[in-house]
Amino acid sequence: MTYEIAGPSGPLSIASDAGVFSHGSLDKATAILLDHLRTLVDDLPEGDFIDVGCGAGPIAVLLAALFPRRRVWAVDTNSRALELCASNARANSLDNMSVCAPDDVPRDLSFALVCSNPPIRVGKNALHEILRTWLGRLHNDGTAIMVVGKNLGADSLQAWLTQNGWPTERLASSKGFRLFRSSVTRAQG
C-alpha cells in the first residue's frame, strides 16, 4: 500500500507493508509530528538529523525533503521497515538519507535533531534505553522532537526526560497526543 504526505514542493510517496508500523496509512501521531516539522526553519545547529524507529520512513523522508543539505539517518530494528524506508527515499529522489539498523550508525556521530514517534509499546525500560542512547548523542545545542499518546504515558515520559537531563516542553496537545521538544543541558552534553 502507498500513501502520500505533503512535502515542500509537492506530495511525497510512502509505500508501506504488513508487519511495519502504520501499515496502509499515516497514523495520527506521526501526522501531528509531520505538521510540526513543516514549520521548522533551518536554524538548527550544523549536523545530521535522525529518525529513531523510522518504520516505512514518513518522518525521515519529510526531513530529507525539507532539509536537502542535511544528512538524515533513518534507523529501525525491523528489516522490512528498513527496506521500505530505503525504497521510499529512492522513490522520492532523496539522496541525503542513510537507512540502517541502529548499530550501523557510526558511534562517533552526534545529531543536531533527533525525531521520533517512539516505540512506546516496547515497555518502559526498553524505551528509556532507546531514548538514553539517541538523546545522549545530541549536540549540546541540539534538540529532539517526539510525539507520544497521552494514554500511553506521555506526561510521565515528559517528566522522566526532564529528570534525566533533557528539559522537555510540550509544544502541542492534539487528538490525544502530546508533541514534545527536548533539549540538552550542558551537564548532559
Domain segments of the chain: what residues?
A: 2-183
Q: Are 181 and 135 in contact (CB under 8 A)?
A: no
pLDDT tens digits for range 131-161: 999 999 999 889 999 999 988 889 999 999 9
- Residue 99 contacts residue 60 (beta carbons within 8 Å): yes
pTM value is 0.93
Spatial CA neighbour of 184 closest among 166, 170, 158: 166
Q: How many CB atoms lie within 10 A of CB 140?
A: 12
* Residue 24 cell numbers, joined: 496502509
Residue numbers of the chain with a pLDDT score lower than 50: 186-189
pLDDT value for 100: 98
CATH classification code of 2-183: 3.40.50.150
**Is 177 within 8 Å of 148 (Cβ atoms)?**
yes
For the chain, first and last CA: distance in Å? 41
